Structure 1
């Protein structure tokens, strides 16, 4: 005997674990998986004997096979026991007519015996082999001739477990009860093997399922229930048992055993988990065991310096005497095992049948000896080809070539990826991981439209904790949550860590983007900063390596909903609308099993984890066990009843407690975590049509009734109950891709309920990060236990569908725009920065505002250098907003800033980019900054308010700024001077702000490289350029001016000449303009109305004594 714990599973695999730490020692497959589970194991000197229904196997403790029997007459082996020869001979039997006596040392079947009954279990006790039958009897077989010496009816139905030690046999079993089926007996029966007479039974009220005799105390046995309750009972004095309880949550015990030393007890449950019990300081499996032999320790390799300064030849190569594969000549290398070529359809059409197959004439469509690379064809079919970069396609378009892949190709590629049927096992490409590729132009060069031709925006993946993207999409398409989030965001909430505000910002951005790619960077930044999220293991950098992604997203679902409710409630009038919409009201009754004392406390639930019924232990072999309906599982999950051990105030001690829920109310939105943990659960979800799209719920007398399908239609037609009908809004799906891809999450969502048009029918869409495509409800609701299983379900009351409340736009709180940041430093002079006047400068639709922003680098780019020396960007640098300036674009104070915020940064800054941003170290630190800093949320909300009040943003290169700020501004609200002064017919070049200011405005900006750019200066310059563009448009000379700008730009390489200052001072240089103008402008300036205001509102007169016109 050795310090090993042995276990086996249903696939014939046998595993051993060493010591109390259960260190894995050996694992081998002793039987074919098709033979079913391992029924029993016995330990002998030579190794481990195991049996399945059709074979007997002996292997050494190192896993080496000693002998194996698998005969045709072995049909249903169940049990075995050592004979009078001890561990040298074993008797094997089962539910069949024959038994086998096997010599363990020689590995031969010495004799085949006739069985008197079908035996399910055997134990050696005293002078007999105790054999339990399938109908509840115990046969006592004589050790000489193996004939039945005595029979005993132990249980009325069948025996579940038994054990024998010395001259005592103890059994546990089932009895048939009218109207209740089979139930475990509340007595463990005892039999005296000396007198062959029964002894008084041992009472066990929870129902005795398993029993083991203690190896040292001959009259003591351990009895356990399926629920985990364990009694240590002296069969001679059963009135004073010692009780323990094993915590087996959501499962049941399947077996029990005691170590030969008596110091350890092990339990196995239905979730394939083992529970080892004993004193941690003295657990020992055997008293006088042999030492366990371990593999020799591998000598550590010498350290190798891999730094860039060490030459590669110093690393060296391992010694070898034969030629390396890499040095083989090409004629010795060939690919084998390629899939066969697809037979041409024309050949199949003209095929003539014969006895040996079919034949036809060769069509001669290929050249002689030509073959097809079928591997390349298969790879092309199994992957969605990545699109080319936008810069490459623009280059082809400018040369008049049709690119090999157009954006419409995405629809064709995705259209060929529909599921072929419910039995398909290959993961379709549309469900696999998608990845952003980066060119030298960054992420803006990636063709996101290739992956999404719908009007619904996807979310990018290069952000930490972006595994939550599918859940965020699901919440955004749930109208109830969407409405509450946006209404909360429109209030005066300024809490930095309010995730509900961030959800509102994200929802508004996704709706405005209307199919363009977005990113949840601000939301995930706040999410990552929360200590509770880190504690719960929801952050990728702190998550356990072996924690399934489905478990993490379910925990994130619970966390987000609770955080949303807390955020909604913290503002006056502190109402509970969010909780009422998401929370199931309930009372939790806790009852002591000893004194029957019952205590009530609130039991509200935001998320329901599904609780599946346990698999029946016994059922008719010809009848499949009944499959529970989804509505039944949901009812049991909502009305959750548990057994636990806790403190009883009346008994003043820990007792067995039972809990049950009394349902008081149901919400508009039911959030359900599927909690799939076992193969039985996966098989249940793989059943076609198991998940209903509609369910009906009735709450009556504290009970939760759920209906689906025909039952729901029947109750709706009767109209007797007040039924709330829910429809399935969407799901978060766990995808286990093959081809060495890590598992990931997608969402399948019915977008119709979030449409304001009640006539819209079901419109299911797949959201795989930034890949979005429409699909059918059949495909959406089809699951596969191998690769596609749901993690989160969202049901919403049907009455809340199509209810899109946009009244928040009329209830925006713009008070934040009328105040300047407060802090320890003096406010700027009003001629430099002046806040808006709430009575005369209320932001309105069409009002122009000049904007510019500066950024700092929070992380550097992650670059992968390949073997050929090429560099590939894995993740781009992460930039953070450092300063944002917004200027008035019209009115008496035109060009005067009303927002000039520096944003406090709590993250480490890796590069301040001072030459471009104008931000220096310390500017963003509250302790030393000379500016009055604001939080990111305050600066962001100001821009968000201006956006939703309808202002028009004027700036230079705004799309990049808006992307980093993480806000989407519709094109109708953007005036970008990059686009205004672009000449698509002549060049794809985008002109810099500095060059345009030099040429058109005769102004010199961005000259001080030490101090960097000034966002106020850049925004003001963009505003002046827009005014200049309006002058050109009004005079009708815009095309000629663009020609002149690009001609002059080619002469100066589109940069201001270095001698510009000298030439300006001496008056020697004048830019050439059409019509012999002295400067770029119009010969006769008119009063021009703002184009974006419809041209009806004219620019008000300028007060020269306050600020002055930007174009004089």
Structure 2
């Protein structure tokens, strides 16, 4: 026999506790009580249902986010709301490897081409050459100079003023997968764990740093330190992600104490306004902010990017350090920002972005309004050349017929005095002032247009009198 419980009524002596929500937060901190990051938005990029986001960048001049996918398509988004700005194709099938920025436009690098495009989407120039076999990275060393490298044995020195190649530098069979700039060196890293330090003027190799035994994934340079992440050789020839970031002092050219991470590092980027903090991203979308200096109270900030299990392929940090953007294999773009900001800005002093003129809405009018001018409503756009409006008249009813002028009065011609090509005569005052003679009967009969005085005579002859 089942026992039926009575309904329990809540009294003042019963203390009710709120049940915490079951949804977990995307961020968690160790050693801190407040979070540093929050999700601002996630969108599916153009072509995201077919291609992953291969590169993503913040525009250093305008409030734009640029992304390139593995299908050769580039799309830009405006502001923290990620409103689509422009979208265009730079290559039929090759992935977009990197995007660089100029004052007037952007540079899009693919495996075998370099495209110069305006921010509004208008293509300007495209460069292809026999030296571009498998380009993967580029670096701007001056306003008119660009270095292009990749999985090939040559580094291309490119002149942006003439949009031509000036020279090539031999790199060997290992090539160059990552290019980074430094005040003293040009850092070239290959996929086999070697980083070459070259002179930025002569491009001669001065030092070589051996990082990871398996493969180099990424490295970042800030001040006197070079930090790298990659893979080590494991058992049975498999690569294992190295959870230690290798730190090299460029003054002594030797390895110092490494930085331990709790995730598998894949991408690195220094925070622009915090030169001692480093953002580390794993292939599964884990973000960890680590300090490159030892603190009395270590702090570890971690964040889980909503990649839905897809691999994170690229990320970038804005110049204000207020936002981070991530692109994954599933074709999605995730925007993450600092907590507590009223408005997220990508740059401190951004140039205004050019937008198309807004379409003016049609005026609203009541159907019973008889004083509304119908000419203020624009005509609809015809879908084809043969389509016509219902108000279009047949061609036989649209014939132009010019009004022939009245003949000059004989009295005026008799009294006319010529002074050169100009004739002068007294006005006989046979016409009414400010009235142009016009007679429909004369037009129909192809006769001369008569004066109002003659028209009055015709009306009298027809028996028409004034009322």
TM-score range, shorter chain: 0.5 to 0.7
1:82 aligns with 2:140: yes
Counterpart among 97, 100, 108 of residue 42 in structure 1: 100
The 8 Å contact of residues 263 and 282 in structure 1, kept in 2 or not, is answered as no
1:261 aligns with 2:340: no
What's 2:123 paired with? 65
The 8 Å contact of residues 195 and 211 in structure 2, kept in 1 or not, is answered as yes
- Map 1:976-1015; keep pairs closer than 5 Å: none
Equivalent position SS for 1:156: coil
What's 1:18 paired with? 78
The 8 Å contact of residues 126 and 165 in structure 1, kept in 2 or not, is answered as no
1:242 aligns with 2:301: yes
The 8 Å contact of residues 125 and 169 in structure 1, kept in 2 or not, is answered as no
1:101 aligns with 2:157: yes
What is the alpha-carbon distance in structure 1 between the residues aligned to residue 160 and residue 343 of structure 2?
A: 33
- Map 1:899-918; keep pairs closer than 5 Å: none
What's 1:288 paired with? 349
CA distance 1:57–1:191, shift in 2 (3 Å): farther
Aligned residues: 318
* 1:157 CA drift (Å): 1.5
* 1:92 CA drift (Å): 0.4
Q: Deviations over 1:75-117 (max 9, x none)?
A: 111111122xx23211001111222111223322222222234
What's 1:827 paired with? none
- Map 1:437-516; keep pairs closer than 5 Å: none
Counterpart among 360, 370, 387 of residue 299 in structure 1: 360
Q: Deviations over 1:654-687 (max 9, x none)?
A: xxxxxxxxxxxxxxxxxxxxxxxxxxxxxxxxxx
What's 1:561 paired with? none
The 8 Å contact of residues 137 and 151 in structure 1, kept in 2 or not, is answered as yes
What's 1:153 paired with? 210
What is the alpha-carbon distance in structure 2 between the residues aligned to residue 245 and residue 327 of structure 1?
A: 59
What's 2:442 paired with? none
What's 1:251 paired with? 310
What's 1:181 paired with? 238
* 1:257 CA drift (Å): 1.3
CA distance 1:306–1:188, shift in 2 (3 Å): farther
1:123 aligns with 2:191: no
Equivalent position SS for 2:126: strand
CA distance 1:163–1:64, shift in 2 (3 Å): farther
Q: Deviations over 1:248-300 (max 9, x none)?
A: 33222222211111111112222111111113524211112212121111222
- Map 1:670-685; keep pairs closer than 5 Å: none
Counterpart among 346, 364, 379 of residue 318 in structure 1: 379
Q: Deviations over 1:871-893 (max 9, x none)?
A: xxxxxxxxxxxxxxxxxxxxxxx
The 8 Å contact of residues 245 and 258 in structure 2, kept in 1 or not, is answered as yes
- Map 1:806-885; keep pairs closer than 5 Å: none
Equivalent position SS for 1:325: coil
How high is the TM-score relative to the length of structure 1?
0.27
* 1:326 CA drift (Å): 2.9
The 8 Å contact of residues 125 and 168 in structure 1, kept in 2 or not, is answered as no
What is the alpha-carbon distance in structure 1 between the residues aligned to residue 248 and residue 126 of structure 2?
A: 35
The 8 Å contact of residues 312 and 327 in structure 2, kept in 1 or not, is answered as yes
What is the alpha-carbon distance in structure 2 between the residues aligned to residue 97 and residue 272 of structure 1?
A: 32
What's 1:708 paired with? none
The 8 Å contact of residues 137 and 154 in structure 1, kept in 2 or not, is answered as yes
- Map 1:673-712; keep pairs closer than 5 Å: none
What's 1:56 paired with? 114
The 8 Å contact of residues 171 and 190 in structure 1, kept in 2 or not, is answered as yes
Counterpart among 252, 255, 259 of residue 198 in structure 1: 255
The 8 Å contact of residues 284 and 309 in structure 2, kept in 1 or not, is answered as no
- Map 1:1034-1053; keep pairs closer than 5 Å: none
What is the alpha-carbon distance in structure 1 between the residues aligned to residue 252 and residue 116 of structure 2?
A: 36
What is the alpha-carbon distance in structure 1 between the residues aligned to residue 241 and residue 309 of structure 2?
A: 19
CA distance 1:277–1:327, shift in 2 (3 Å): closer
What's 1:612 paired with? none
Q: Deviations over 1:508-553 (max 9, x none)?
A: xxxxxxxxxxxxxxxxxxxxxxxxxxxxxxxxxxxxxxxxxxxxxx
Equivalent position SS for 1:200: coil
What is the alpha-carbon distance in structure 2 between the residues aligned to residue 212 and residue 109 of structure 1?
A: 30
What is the alpha-carbon distance in structure 2 between the residues aligned to residue 19 and residue 209 of structure 1?
A: 27
What's 1:274 paired with? 333
What is the alpha-carbon distance in structure 2 between the residues aligned to residue 49 and residue 317 of structure 1?
A: 41
Equivalent position SS for 1:237: coil
1:140 aligns with 2:197: yes
What is the alpha-carbon distance in structure 1 between the residues aligned to residue 139 and residue 385 of structure 2?
A: 55
The 8 Å contact of residues 362 and 377 in structure 2, kept in 1 or not, is answered as no
* 1:244 CA drift (Å): 2.2
Which ranges in structure 1 are unaligned for 5 or more consecutive residues? 308-312, 329-1112
CA distance 1:302–1:229, shift in 2 (3 Å): same
What's 1:112 paired with? 168
* 1:208 CA drift (Å): 1.0
The 8 Å contact of residues 58 and 65 in structure 1, kept in 2 or not, is answered as yes
What is the alpha-carbon distance in structure 1 between the residues aligned to residue 239 and residue 128 of structure 2?
A: 34
* 1:179 CA drift (Å): 3.6
What is the alpha-carbon distance in structure 1 between the residues aligned to residue 377 and residue 321 of structure 2?
A: 55
What is the alpha-carbon distance in structure 2 between the residues aligned to residue 140 and residue 151 of structure 1?
A: 6
What is the alpha-carbon distance in structure 2 between the residues aligned to residue 163 and residue 60 of structure 1?
A: 29
What is the alpha-carbon distance in structure 2 between the residues aligned to residue 168 and residue 304 of structure 1?
A: 69
CA distance 1:314–1:286, shift in 2 (3 Å): closer
What is the alpha-carbon distance in structure 2 between the residues aligned to residue 11 and residue 195 of structure 1?
A: 43
The 8 Å contact of residues 219 and 236 in structure 1, kept in 2 or not, is answered as yes
What's 1:355 paired with? none
The 8 Å contact of residues 66 and 74 in structure 2, kept in 1 or not, is answered as yes
The 8 Å contact of residues 91 and 102 in structure 1, kept in 2 or not, is answered as yes
The 8 Å contact of residues 81 and 129 in structure 1, kept in 2 or not, is answered as no
What's 1:29 paired with? 89
* 1:138 CA drift (Å): 0.7
What is the alpha-carbon distance in structure 1 between the residues aligned to residue 237 and residue 342 of structure 2?
A: 45
Equivalent position SS for 2:387: helix
What's 1:212 paired with? 269
Equivalent position SS for 1:155: coil
CA distance 1:25–1:327, shift in 2 (3 Å): closer
CA distance 1:78–1:318, shift in 2 (3 Å): same
Which ranges in structure 2 are unaligned for 5 or more consecutive residues? 1-60, 369-373, 390-467
Q: Deviations over 1:279-331 (max 9, x none)?
A: 35242111122121211112223347899xxxxx99977299xx952369xxx
CA distance 1:317–1:226, shift in 2 (3 Å): closer
The 8 Å contact of residues 220 and 233 in structure 1, kept in 2 or not, is answered as yes
Q: Deviations over 1:117-139 (max 9, x none)?
A: 41111111222221111211111
Q: What is the CA RMSD across the aligned residues, in angstroms?
A: 2.7
What is the alpha-carbon distance in structure 2 between the residues aligned to residue 318 and residue 282 of structure 1?
A: 42
Q: Which has the higher helix share?
A: 1
* 1:167 CA drift (Å): 3.2
The 8 Å contact of residues 243 and 261 in structure 2, kept in 1 or not, is answered as yes
What's 2:284 paired with? 227
Q: Deviations over 1:607-646 (max 9, x none)?
A: xxxxxxxxxxxxxxxxxxxxxxxxxxxxxxxxxxxxxxxx
1:170 aligns with 2:231: no
